[in-house]
Chain A
Amino acid sequence: MPDEKLFIGSHAPYWHNGSSISAKSYDTMLAALPAVVLGISQYGAPALGVLALSVSCAMIWELIMNVAMKRPASIGDGNAAVIGLLFAMLMPATAPWWAVVVGTFVAVVIGKQIFGGIGCNPLNPALVAIAILMLSWESMMDFNDALVNYDFGFNMIYPLAAIKSFGASAVSDYNTVGLLMGQQPGGIGTTFGLGLIIGGLYLILRGHIRWEISLSFLASVFVTALLFNLSDPDKYANPVFHLLTGYTLIGAFFLATEDSSSPVNFFPMLLYGAFAGILTVLIRNIGAFVDGVVFAILMMNVANPLLDKIRPKAMGKGIKHA
């Protein structure tokens, strides 16, 4: 019946609001751009090299895994590129090429694809990679060692390392405006506080990330750091310092909010962010690691399925009219 007029049968609804995974991914990359551009302008070609290699490697790993697992090619959705970009933003500009290749392998293959691809990863892929690199090549991921040859005319000691070793007085010359404008050493895309905040607000307004997570994470970092600071102002830095250094801002807006590994219900989102914030400051102030964001968020990723069980009663459930 070649000339018979037939209609497309599908199930309701016949409308869609037009959102897509790729649009979401590209918006996330757009939001990360201010921080990335400042990183490139500070560290120059090496930073650009790490970023470019990381994004392309992540996409290639994704494609290789698609072929190996006989799945349709999924690099078009941009998720692998986002993982690559976020991973590079967390890395020091001087990271060697093999570390980027290994890191993206861990992120895309071990962090995401072996669980079944997008949406199935229990942990944030970029953070899995960073955590493994931090544990395996400690000195490479130490920003004081890594960035020893750079001097931009501001204090080039990694602020979190300084406070860990020397107490609050060692970081008195970091001012808030300077930290916001990226005047601190750190990962390629993690130092420009203002850029990250703008990017994060953009993502929140577009509805791509859940504001509850970002807000509760930042609030609980602030409160926990404040409590420490009040208990011993000489030893522990003030809360604003904790908010603007290390991975806090990128963690709040880009890492903790990763879809698959974070809760979706309102109250669990607040708990998730709050606990991640508390853990971050605990690790920073009394733990072994310089920055706690990576392990705090990974820890909460693990708790996510449990947290997400706290949810409102569905309509018509549990109400009995005798």
Chain B
Amino acid sequence: MIKRPFFSLGKPKLKYPVDDTQEQDVIRVIPLPDRVTFFLEDPYERNEGFLIKPGDKIKTGQKLKLTEDDKDYVISSVTGTIADISQYRGYLGKTYAAISIDTGDEEQWDDKFKEGCQKPTLENSLEFLGCLPGDTGFIPILDTHPPLNTIIINGLDKDILVSTNQLIVQTETDSLKTGIEYLREITGAGEIMIAVSPELASQAGEIDVDVKVIEPSYPNTLPEIIMKSILGKTPPADETWEQIGVGLINAEAVVAISNAFTKGQIPVSKLLTVINKDNTTVHVRARVGTHVKEILAALDIETYHGDQLVLGGPMTGHALYSEDLPILADTDAIMVHDKDNVVLPSDCHCINCGECVRACPARIPVNMLIRVLENDLYEEAAKEYDLLSCIECGLCSYVCPARIPIFHYIMLGKYELARIETVEESNA
């Protein structure tokens, strides 16, 4: 945990650890798990009428859809039989169908992709590459008309201590290069650039794109701040990136595109940074859907009742209540947090010290925002106090001396606001 320095003027400085050990380059491969689970978004919370059912044989790389009309799909990362399909409610009340697959003995690859997709085209990508490892929104980048002006490849990692994308830039420069060529072909985007940390600038220079150097200290590495420092503009609070013609894609996903078309197999394993209790990190490669328990067991990391287990990094991750939950295609890190270090929030009032206001990279009046949010005034929060400008960095909670769970309140506010708007739309 990075503590406040004794003398502290101004904003908190959260430096990313420098990769100086040889160990960093070693990627531990997690053995094939006995069971994997995928979360497939299902807003309707359906129970039946599915294309797939328990007992179905599934091949590696096979597309799993709930119904023929659904747009969302997942790619199976193992060969085996479906054991169970159940409902799962995730962060911000999102509902998913949790598809568990028991792994079979012999791995067989589904060859639909290989047969159908010799060439990197838009249709093929939409059809098969919707949930690439490392993906943070490839489909929205593809699915825009006209094509985007700019695509930024993110060679940095969103959260502190996480170095997944940095490792990709460091070790898979060649694949990245081909991936970018494919990306250009698929999207027809005007300009492609890559954002990297200063240490990797020369390496990224070998790639034939515009290299932008970003100082790797939090929150510089958040997508919105990257955009601001590269393009000098920020996405308006009520618009998506794609609406202003910019797309962001992780370096890992670009490498995955390259591997998909060169090898004819959709990549099914994910590179992760595992952050241990003492903040040391290990890189692992595991099949998407592997349960966290198996990864921790392979690394000999012991957890106890009352510890904290986080998918993602220390500032923006999501806590899990059980080890039997899987890693997803966009899980960049797993953090194990010792129970002695768990920070408990308090129900104290805001003392108006202004630490959050100074820390906020989006210049939100957090001291006022938290007051209206505490009183459930979500619409006022959005209108008067810039709730929707929040870029979700978590620094306000991190610096709060009253230990108010501000970030939690903000996310609750966004969630409730979306619900209010849905109700209003359906009543209109």
- A interface residues with partner B (beta carbon < 8 Å): 4-21, 23-24, 77, 116-120, 204-207, 210-211, 259-260, 262, 264-265, 308, 311-317, 319-321
Contacts and interface: CB of A to CB of B under 8 A. Distances in A.
Contacts of A118: 348-349, 351
3 closest A-B pairs by beta carbon, nearest first, are A264-B354, A11-B408, A314-B386
B306 A7 contact: yes
Interface stretch (B38-46, B253-261, B318-326, B420-428): B318-326
A10 B389 contact: no
Interface stretch (B26-34, B166-174, B195-203, B361-369): B361-369
Interface string B299-337: 000011111111010111111111100000000000101
B97 interface: no
A17 B363 contact: no
Given A23-B401, A316-B235, A14 B407 contact: no
Interface in B337-369: 337, 339, 342-345, 348-355, 357-358, 361-365, 367-368
B237 interface: yes
Contacts of A4: 305
A105 B322 CA distance: 51
B340 to A, nearest CB: 12
A250 B395 CA distance: 32
A95 B352 CA distance: 32
A6 B305 contact: yes
Contact of B233 (A9, A206, A319): A319
Given A16-B398, A19-B401, A317-B389, A264 B361 contact: no
B402 interface: yes
B354 A316 contact: no
Interface stretch (B1-9, B71-79, B205-213, B283-291): B1-9
B321 A7 contact: yes
A9 B237 contact: no
A21 B320 contact: no
Contact of B4 (A18, A204, A321): A18
Given A18-B3, A21-B351, 20 more contacts: A7-B320, A7-B322, A10-B345, A12-B312, A12-B319, A13-B343, A14-B335, A14-B342, A15-B2, A16-B1, A19-B4, A118-B348, A118-B349, A119-B352, A260-B352, A311-B363, A312-B363, A314-B386, A317-B236, A321-B236
Interface string B124-148: 0000000000000000000000000
A82 to B, nearest CB: 12
Interface of B: 1-4, 6-10, 12, 160, 224, 228, 233-238, 244, 303-310, 312, 314-323, 335, 337, 339, 342-345, 348-355, 357-358, 361-365, 367-368, 386, 388-389, 391, 394-395, 397-403, 405, 407-408, 411
Q: Chain B at the A interface: mostly helix, strand, loop or mixed?
A: loop
A205 B244 contact: no
Contacts of B318: 12
A251 B304 CA distance: 51
Contact of B343 (A5, A15, A116, A315): A15
Nearest to B349: A119
Given A15-B398, A19-B401, A20-B401, A319 B363 contact: no
A13 B391 CA distance: 13
A122 to B, nearest CB: 10
